[in-house]
Structure 1
Amino acid sequence: MIKAIFPKALVIRINIAFLALFLLAYAFLFLWPSSTSVYNASPASFVRCSLRECHHKTENGIKMKAVLEEPRNSQFNSPDRIVVKRERPSFLDEMGRGMMIGMVNMEGEDVSEWKMLGQVIPVSFEPVSELFEWKDLFPEWIDEEEEIDGPSCPEIPMPDFYKYASVDMIVAKLPCRVQEEGWGRDVLRLQVHLIAANLAVKRGRGIWNRRIKVVFLSKCRPMPDLFRCDDLLRQEGDWWYYEPDLTRLAQKLSLPVGSCNLALPLWGKGIHEVYDVSRIGKKSTRTIKREAYATVLHSSEAYVCGAIALAQSLLQTGTKRDLILLLDRSISKPKREALAKAGWKFRFIERIRNPRAEKNTYNEYNYSKFRLWQLAEYDKIIFIDADVIVLRNLDILFHFPQISATGNDGSIFNSGIMVIEPSNCTFNMFMQRTREIVSYNGGDQGFLNEVFVWWHRLPRRVNFLKNFWSNSTVEAAVKNQLLGADPPKLYSIHFLGLKPWLCYRDYDCNWDLEDLHVYASDVAHRRWWKLHDAMDEGLQKFCALRKRRKIDLEWDRKLAREKGLKDGHWRVNVTDPRKYTT
């Protein structure tokens, strides 16, 4: 066997070449500036927190830590910061002495007046990063069906609550950047609210009367999502004094921190397996006195048929709750008699005009929905729009707090089905703010989303919107399978676009208008008419077509035929007997 022998000079050259390549690779990997993409990442990707502590990931070393630890307000760390002395609220004189007072976010404030009441204890916490945005907590879409990894939420840093277990009062300064657009959706503002709420709930467990004093310093009203109008005892200038209902508050704190996860899934891992809500149910039903479903009719009789169908669908699910209809005098006596026969109990209302609406527009009186909060004889109301039919029992939703609803666009909820807690105090707050609040859509949904920014997400199957935004074959197949499933997989169907009772029963007339194809589904249309046919004939006649509506339907069919719309519904031979009856 012959052993190959390489010249010594060649070996040296090879070693030098390998060394040079190694040094180049080292310089590229370790000396090249790190990517700035970290500044655009979601906070959930680089911080993991618990209720007790927050640990930074270290993959990106010093730079990552610097981003997270940069203070929201540099003056807090300045030795030369100015201490602000504010006017003493008179309610301090009515409070006892010898208290333990937890101070949250009160840096830079003169707290000498509070020291007269007892021991002042600064509550230490790490403010959330500026990179933490509201949309991280309230995303437009989450993986509700757990088809990928399931939904998850980034966690907000919390203090070590065990260190403050003995506080009798919480005093917190709330960020209020009211001059900035979207100021109410401030994660730091939410963080301070949540810290105060958690301190109150955890301390309340050890007090016999479960009453904890919470005082906020803020030019803006504290979040009614957490600190209810009814629990506000005094307001003096920028001081807000609450004694919150700790049972209600604890329930809210037990839910996800945002709509980034379902408040509670309505099913387990199996699609038909109903989720066990006995834990929250046992807690919440102790104080529940009365509950009801409700809808609203005003200004027009166009939705009378829809309200009749809604009541019938609710009764078919076996609910024993009251069905409450808020209506004005525009609904004629024969229609009222039919609505009563369908199952509704009446509450007559005066309409509320939207001060920002144009005269004689669709949203001129849609703030009338605020009257729901005047149903103070009930503890919980599930509001349902009159263009919805219910397929499965929704009583489970009474276990959820205000506002629980399904998602809409962006970070907002859809008010077509929502859980509310009636309160005359809340109603009065709405009325005081009708001119102040700008609704993104000019209606009640936009208004309510500005008041209740911290809402709880219900599965979209609870309020399944009949729309097909992508107009894809796959989307249509999946949604139509859900819309037509028997037994039903959906809890309700929300009929957007032209309503079934305003179409011929033969097909969904949204097909006749190109702009409304996103709302067209013959499967959903047939489902509504199946419910209609099961109703008493005396109720069915209130779904008749008016002469004017028949003319409009024929005109739309004519235009669809002239355009040669590819769906071809204009070719359908109409057999609906309502076409031929007066």
Structure 2
Amino acid sequence: MWKLLSTFPFEIGTLTARNQPSASSSSSSCGDLSEHYTTLRRFLSPIFPPLPPLGTFILLLCFLGFFFLGSIIDFALTLNEYSPHSLASLKTQTAESLAQDPRYLSSLNIDWDEISRIIEKLNNLDEYPGIGLLNFDEKEIGQWKQLFPETEQLILHLERAPGNLTWEMLYPEWIDEEEESVIPSCPSLPQLQVPHKPRIDLIAVKLPSGRSSRDVARLHLQLEAARLAASSKIQHQIHVLLVTDHFPIPNLFSCKELVAREGNAWLYKPDPFRLLEKVWLPIGSCELALPIEPEGPFYSEGSGREAYATILHSAQAYVCGAIVAAQSIRATGSNRDLVALVDETISDDDRVGLEAAGWKIYTIQRIRNPRAQEGSYNEWNYSKFRLWQLTDYDKIVFIDADLLVLRNIDFLFGMLEISARGNNATLFNSGVMVIEPCNCTFDLLMDHIDEIVSYNGGDQGYLNEMFTWWHRMPRRMNFLKHFWEGDSEESKRRKTDLFGADPPALYVIHYLGHKPWLCFRDYDCNWNVGFYREFASDAAHKTWWKVHDSMPGNLQRYCLLRTRQKAALEWDRRQAEMANFEDGHWRMEINDDRLRTCVENFCSWESMLLHWGEQNWADN
């Protein structure tokens, strides 16, 4: 527990001092404690054992308050060292640092009419006597004074991030999650210093110019604005105004909390307790946002508004995978809703099977990827954005249909948007991810569909451009069936052991390459395709079929092989034989009953092979 507390972005003494209520507000602060105790329990439940009853919790707080009394006094003494001369020096320091660090500069010319109009949207403007200004130059500060002469402007001083700090340091491709060699830790970013604890009702921040979301300075400024807004709940709620030529971090400042927008000015009224949850998280994927082995079952009072979701569009081939995925979730004891988004290409019979497996069917209209070629695999994969329209739910854990859930992962509902495992470079894998549905987030995704380029041409690349501030879940919660080219023999052996462990050690296996239900059950057919051999694992293949075999026969029939797929498997086997692949899987006799079971009018897969691969060949 103490190790975790030491990683929180607030020092305990600082946080306590900032939130210390006055005598006149003591009764209301007790109400706040009761009101938000449930939120605290929900936030900590994936990390700590269940919290004690409220009375015991209050006693514990009293004990901790006494323990840290010395820290609070030291902090108060530190605040008293500031003087009016210090405030003047802060202005000088801010101007100097702006001139010295181009990362924080903005070439945006502020439209002050936009600022005036957006500030007018605040109710009871006279009750906003204090405005904190962050990252504005001296001329712009003068403009604020002219616009609002009766309002006190406080120049917020923020030391700049170290010059050698890169996005790749905040979002490394790999961290030692098991802490076998080193304990992962994130770089530190300087925090705002606010002398004398003045009343601030509005935090205005000018963000650096540029279209890149992977910008350390932009992240730094937004995190510190959020931290300051989160720290003042006991006194009053703070509005945040972001002046930027690029949309703010959508999962830090939620569009649900957007009060108004005028051009480049975005005004938010964020929930400070929600912000507190967010700024408690690691600043990047440089540390896990969740323990590798969460303790105890996860309980949420909002479990009725939480669901697992998958999506099936443009192809029947994943229906079997979705049915087995549902079976695997239920086998772990989860009773969350299962939601499947399907388009018109999914047949009525397939929908019957999905519903029998437990999925609630939502019919959607597909969304075309404007950069995809007609008929390509990724032509309609932007349909995944429809997940944000599932507003009957507060939290969605999305799972691809080619996943197998081996252990209960309900604790993921306690994580925030976007939580996912790392993929490569600074990116996350969207096969398992936590999202928070909201129509305005869907609108944001659609608004930029023609301008943002996906690194891989698909939805995963697009979402990585929209949600660059994401939170790392342990890879065991989305373990990719993939043997990297650089894997040692020991690493391959350990992965193989994990894929076949009983009881399971992994939470989720993500089946890359050819899918188990499109292979014969005898072995992983990825062995027979040269560029797919890195995805081959007989142990993982066997694990999938074990779950399949636990299903009733009326569901297993959705996993029968079509005639064309049988021919394709034999073709690949012959190519492997010609290449004389040393693993020798191509020599194995096929005993899978599905080879001799026909579900179509045309059953002669052997005759298909006579013209397989010819330029004008068709499967009719």
TM class, shorter-length? 0.7 to 0.9
Secondary structure, in 3 states, of the residue corresponding to 2:231?
helix
Q: Is the 8 A contact 2:172 2:285 kept in 1?
A: yes
What is the identity, as a one-letter code, of the residue corresponding to 2:278? K
> Does the CA-based 8 Å contact 2:108-2:244 persist in structure 1?
no
Equivalent position of 1:59 in the other structure = none
The one of 167, 175, 191 aligned to 1:158: 191
TM-score (norm 2): 0.77
The 2-side partners of 1:576 and 1:288 are apart by 41
Equivalent in the alignment of 2:479: 464
Cα pair 2:134 2:204 within 8 Å, conserved: yes
**In the alignment, is the contact (CA less than 8 A) between 2:167 and 2:214 conserved in 1?**
yes
What one-letter code is carried by the residue in structure 2 that aligns with 1:537? G
- Counterparts in 2 of 1:400 and 1:144: CA distance versus 1, 3 Å: same
Structure 2 counterpart SS, 1:493: strand
Q: Is the 8 A contact 1:102 1:164 kept in 2?
A: no
What pairs with 1:86-165 in structure 2 (closer than 5 Å)? Answer: 86-87=112-113, 88-95=115-122, 96-97=125-126, 98-108=128-138, 109=140, 110-113=143-146, 115-116=148-149, 118-161=151-194, 163-164=196-197
Amino acid at match of 1:90: R
SS at match of 2:368: coil
CA pair 187-295 structure 1, distance change in 2 beyond 3 A: same
Q: Give the deviation of 1:306 after TM superposition.
A: 0.2
Which amino acid letter does the alignment assign opposite residue 206 of structure 1?
Q
Deviates more, 1:372-381 or 1:85-94: 85-94
1:332-390 alpha-carbon deviations (Å, 9 max, x no partner): 11111111101100110000001111100000000000000000010000000000010
The answer to whether the Cα contact below 8 Å between 2:98 and 2:135 also exists between their aligned partners in 1 is no
Deviation at 1:461, TM superposition (A): 0.1
| Whole-Å separation in 2 of the counterparts to 1:214 and 1:479 | 47
Aligned to 2:540: 524
Give the conservation status (yes or no) of the 8 Å contact 1:123–1:164. no
Q: Is the 8 A contact 1:50 1:157 kept in 2?
A: no
Task: Tell me which amino acid in the other structure corresponds to 1:171.
Answer: A
1:490 pairs with 472, 496, 506, which one? 506
Q: Could you say if the C-alpha distance between residues 103 and 322 of structure 1 is closer, same or farther in structure 2, counting changes exceeding 3 Å?
A: same
Secondary structure of 1:383's counterpart equals strand
| 1:563 matched to 2:582 | no
From the superposition, tell whether residues 311 and 100 of structure 1 become closer, same or farther in structure 2 (CA, over 3 Å).
same
Given that 2:101 and 2:160 are in contact with CA atoms closer than 8 Å, whether structure 1 keeps it comes out as: no
Equivalent residues of 2:118, 2:265 under 8 A apart: no
Residue of structure 2 in register with 1:434 after alignment? 449
Residues of 2 paired with 1:572 and 1:117: CA distance? Answer: 84
User: Is residue 116–residue 147 contact of structure 2 (8 Å, CA) maintained in 1?
Assistant: no
Deviations 1:495-551 (A, max 9, x none): 000000010100000000121111000000000000111011111111011111111
RMSD of the alignment, in Å?
2.3
Check the 8 A contact 2:231/2:272 in 1, yes or no.
Answer: no
Report percent identity of matched pairs. 48
State the Cα distance separating 1:72 from its structure 2 match. Answer: 5.9
- Check conservation: 2:378, 2:457, Cα contact below 8 A: yes
The residue identity in structure 2 corresponding to 1:212 is I
Greater alpha carbon shift after TM alignment, 223-232 vs 417-426: 223-232
Contact 1:463–1:491, Cα closer than 8 Å, also in 2: yes
Q: Give, in angstroms, the shift of residue 165 of structure 1.
A: 5.5
**Partner AA of 2:426 in structure 1:** S
How many Å apart are 1:426 and its aligned residue? Answer: 0.4
User: How does the TM-score come out when normalised to structure 1?
Assistant: 0.82
Name the residue aligned to 1:359: 374
Unpaired runs of at least 5, structure 2: 1-8, 15-74, 76-94, 599-620
Rg: which structure is higher? 1
**One-letter amino acid of the structure 2 residue matched with residue 132 of structure 1:** L
Contact 1:391/1:492 (CA < 8 Å) preserved in 2? Answer: yes
Correspondence 1:375 to 2:385:
no
Q: 2:319, 2:558 within 8 Å by CA — same for their partners in 1?
A: yes
Give the conservation status (yes or no) of the 8 Å contact 1:380–1:421.
yes
Of 515, 537, 541, which aligns to 2:557?
541
Aligned 8 A contact 1:72 1:130 in 2: no
Q: Is the 8 A contact 2:292 2:474 kept in 1?
A: yes
Compared CA separation, residues 275 and 149, structure 1 to 2 (3 A): farther
Structure 1 residues 580 and 286: alpha-carbon distance in aligned structure 2, compared to 1, 3 A threshold: closer
Matches within 5 A, 1:130-529: 130-161=163-194, 163-164=196-197, 166-178=199-211, 183-207=212-236, 211-267=237-293, 274-275=294-295, 285=300, 290-470=305-485, 472-529=488-545
Whether the 8 Å CA contact 2:285–2:470 is kept in 1: the answer is: yes
Q: Does structure 2 retain, via aligned residues, the 8 Å contact 1:266–1:275? A: no
Partner Cα separation in structure 2 for residue 490 and residue 84 of structure 1: 51
Q: Secondary structure at the match of 1:111?
A: helix
Q: Counterpart amino acid of 2:521?
A: R
Deviations along 1:7-31, one digit per CA (max 9) or x if unpaired, are: xxxxxxxxxxxxxxxxxxxxxxxxx
User: Are the counterparts in 2 of residues 106 and 172 from structure 1 also a CA contact under 8 Å?
Assistant: yes
C-alpha contact 2:350 2:558 (8 A) present in aligned 1: yes
Cα gap change, 1:102/1:71 in structure 2, threshold over 3 Å: closer, same or farther?
Answer: closer
Cα drift, residue 162 of structure 1: 6.2
Which residue of 1 is the match for residue 569 of structure 2? 553
Shift of residue 575, structure 1, vs aligned partner: 0.4
Task: Name the structure with the higher helix share.
Answer: 2
Partner Cα separation in structure 2 for residue 101 and residue 286 of structure 1: 37
Which of 468-477 and 211-220 deviates more? 468-477
| Mapped contact 1:463–1:493 kept (Cα < 8 A) | yes
Please give the alpha-carbon distance, in whole angstroms, between the structure 2 residues aligned to 1:395 and 1:161.
40
How far apart in 2 are the matches of 1:286 and 1:259?
A: 28
Correspondence for 1:66:
none
Give deviations 1:250-297, integer Å, cap 9, x for gaps: 111111111000002142xxxxxx33698xx7xxx5667610000000
Is the alpha carbon distance of 1:114 and 1:215 closer, same or farther for their aligned partners in structure 2, counting shifts above 3 Å?
Answer: farther
CA distance 1:146–1:330, change in 2 (3 Å)? same
Query: What is the Cα deviation at residue 85 of structure 1?
Result: 7.6
Q: Distance in 1 between matches of 2:96 and 2:496?
A: 50
- CA–CA distance in 1 between the matches of 2:587 and 2:301? 58
Give the SS at the match of 2:278. Answer: helix
Amino acid at match of 1:99: P
1:92 CA drift (Å): 2.3
